[in-house]
Structure 1
């Protein structure tokens, strides 16, 4: 706290801080778990979770592949210097041009739609190899844990209704090698049960369709950086127990695509109190931060936070900590029986690295500064946007 307190007092708020040692320590726990339980693996860092250029380049330097889900992300990976065959290309919105290039560059490409199967006819390389995403009923296997219990997931080819079998048949008729399967699924719980189910489906599909696979891609979606939640080793150990019954560790790579698990915990957001006002109903503490910068979808009910204040303060029974926007629901938390906050006090929100920088809207204020903290030293890795950056690619009438 001492290091971030000094930064909070010296830098213009609001700003994000990437804690490099925490990031690297968390990543090391992940690689240690993989090396122990499946020492033939690829880690693909999920660009959609946080594609800040410093972050994606750092994960590249650690040996990660770039896990991309659009032409923009695919081109971003190339722009920051990711080796062309170290890109994983997923998702339903690939363009034809980038899809063909990725397949021909021997990227890991996981097909998600019928049109991608049709595009295979135009791949010029004699040896064609792709992966395929599997859609399966995770709710049936893990009741109450899926994100869409009544509607089912929308990505990949459905196993239960035969669409997966039809897709595999089509791909084989085109004399294209199916080198891998992709089984990422979203859940409300991130529980070990989800990954037990994924591993079981991988084995079932492999045996039923006689697939000789170079990789099994289980996606991401697991916890990381929280001591009270399942740990990396628990996830990998469970999958090892199941996958090893059908797959040879030496032959088949395990691909995981973490986002939140590796980048969520090591980022903080620092704000200042800019006003305090009393109304008939509440004391409102207004800050120069905003809820949309730490919870863009406004779905969370609580945050990890700490206060930076000087001197002794009387306790106030209720304070509503609010953001700077003109939306009434830009309220971050209710402080009950905590020190009375004053203008200039700082509030630091921790574990806000996932789906924040990439989803924060350009609403009222633009993107804030981002600093890298390394052993107490701070480096600016993204300057705050100004109106000049906002209008940079716009055409304005003379």
Structure 2
């Protein structure tokens, strides 16, 4: 299958770039904290081929719902290879994961009550983790999305809830909290934020009379983006802070990258289907949508390439728009570039993070996903949806 003959629109994953991200992350961990687990963030891109590929590199699967848990199992992950996070766990799968030795980080009082319901005679010694909520904004001003409201996840460090819940759970027979899960979404993905997360882990550990088995600092790193913070730079600082309280040989470091691994290896390829002038601007319509490359509608620029077969005059301004009937479906403003015509190709690069999982069934259905293997062979790993897929389980 040749790339130039693929029907647009489609996503294209470059295996070589994905492998490079994985190997660079593992190399950094081996240098700075060679007692680690990587849990790939399923929600960031849950394409089964990608999940299976992660397993090949001994990467665990981090999930945040029953459906993601069951998907991980279907792909081939065993309970012990799944990290179960988030506030959306179901009681049945939660208990099953607990009984079968999976990683679990509790996030709500519901889960504490479920733990108290379990017959301890069914359990051998079970070690779980707890999600910590703390005031990152105080330490890193303007770094968090919700400046005054704080994060909504986990048990509060500031009001003492996290230590109270640890004490409550540790009173149960055969269940003990041996891990801290401290993950915060940040605006800039700065090293300083991870330094603050690690300091919080150290403060909590000092209040415990036993050694924690793991510290899970979540994801949110840059990866595979030129000029941005590298894995080595993140891990060097994380290691420096954690070593003030923890020993590498005794406490495992868990990280849960999503976009750091899968963001940069994936392109979205679309085609110009119409060009017209209005009283105000040159409008270029493509058979893609901003929904497919920027589902949060937050980006103001992209990595991109134009595939134009002949020389064209330079156009001062062209507004690239998507196929939908929403007027805000505007992908980018192309300035001082060659004039685009029908049939020209636009390749949006580094768009593998959250785009496929957040693609809507709006006007058009899911596009094809291809993988370009290291030997340049191209394989299809998800066919384009038609009305047949859309109508599954529909009732007329």
TM-score (norm 1): 0.96
Paired residues for 1:246-265 under 5 Å: 246-265=245-264
1:26 aligns to what SS in structure 2?
helix
Give the Cα–Cα distance (whole angstroms) in 2 for the partners of residues 310 and 208 of structure 1.
Answer: 66
Please, which of 8, 12, 20 is the counterpart of residue 13 of structure 1? 8
Query: 1:321·1:332 contact (CA, 8 Å) conserved in 2?
Result: yes
Alignment partner, residue 28 of structure 2: 33
Query: 1:178·1:211 contact (CA, 8 Å) conserved in 2?
Result: no
Structure 1 position 89 matched with structure 2 position 84: yes
Give the Cα–Cα distance (whole angstroms) in 2 for the partners of residues 169 and 152 of structure 1.
Answer: 24
1:263-300: CA deviation from partner (whole Å, max 9, x where unpaired): 00000000000111111111111110111000012111
Number of positions where the alignment pairs a residue of Structure 1 with one of Structure 2: 391
Q: Could you tell me how far 1:211 is from its partner in structure 2?
A: 3.9
Alignment partner, residue 268 of structure 1: 267
Give the Cα–Cα distance (whole angstroms) in 1 for the partners of residues 355 and 156 of structure 2.
Answer: 31
Alignment partner, residue 316 of structure 1: 315
1:185-238: CA deviation from partner (whole Å, max 9, x where unpaired): 111111000011111111110011334211110100111111211100111111
Alignment partner, residue 197 of structure 2: 198
Structure 1 position 104 matched with structure 2 position 99: yes
2:145 aligns to what SS in structure 1?
coil
Give the Cα–Cα distance (whole angstroms) in 1 for the partners of residues 303 and 238 of structure 2.
Answer: 31
Give the Cα–Cα distance (whole angstroms) in 2 for the partners of residues 388 and 152 of structure 1.
Answer: 44
Alignment partner, residue 43 of structure 1: 38
Paired residues for 1:1-398 under 5 Å: 7=3, 9-123=4-118, 124-175=122-173, 176-374=175-373, 375-396=375-396
Give the Cα–Cα distance (whole angstroms) in 2 for the partners of residues 351 and 132 of structure 1.
Answer: 33
Q: Could you tell me how far 1:37 is from its partner in structure 2?
A: 0.7
2:177 aligns to what SS in structure 1?
strand
Give the Cα–Cα distance (whole angstroms) in 1 for the partners of residues 86 and 352 of structure 2.
Answer: 22
Q: Could you tell me how far 1:102 is from its partner in structure 2?
A: 0.6
2:164 aligns to what SS in structure 1?
helix
Query: 1:146·1:188 contact (CA, 8 Å) conserved in 2?
Result: yes
Query: 2:10·2:369 contact (CA, 8 Å) conserved in 1?
Result: yes
Q: Could you tell me how far 1:179 is from its partner in structure 2?
A: 1.6
Give the Cα–Cα distance (whole angstroms) in 1 for the partners of residues 248 and 137 of structure 2.
Answer: 29
Query: 1:145·1:189 contact (CA, 8 Å) conserved in 2?
Result: yes
Query: 2:211·2:250 contact (CA, 8 Å) conserved in 1?
Result: no
Give the Cα–Cα distance (whole angstroms) in 2 for the partners of residues 39 and 393 of structure 1.
Answer: 48
Give the Cα–Cα distance (whole angstroms) in 2 for the partners of residues 140 and 360 of structure 1.
Answer: 35
Give the Cα–Cα distance (whole angstroms) in 2 for the partners of residues 109 and 211 of structure 1.
Answer: 19
1:326-382: CA deviation from partner (whole Å, max 9, x where unpaired): 000111111111001011000000000001000011000000000000132100010
Give the Cα–Cα distance (whole angstroms) in 1 for the partners of residues 113 and 211 of structure 2.
Answer: 22
Unaligned runs of 5+ in 2: none
Give the Cα–Cα distance (whole angstroms) in 2 for the partners of residues 314 and 252 of structure 1.
Answer: 61
1:174 aligns to what SS in structure 2?
coil
CA RMSD of aligned residues (A): 1.1
Unaligned runs of 5+ in 1: none
Give the Cα–Cα distance (whole angstroms) in 1 for the partners of residues 244 and 316 of structure 2.
Answer: 58
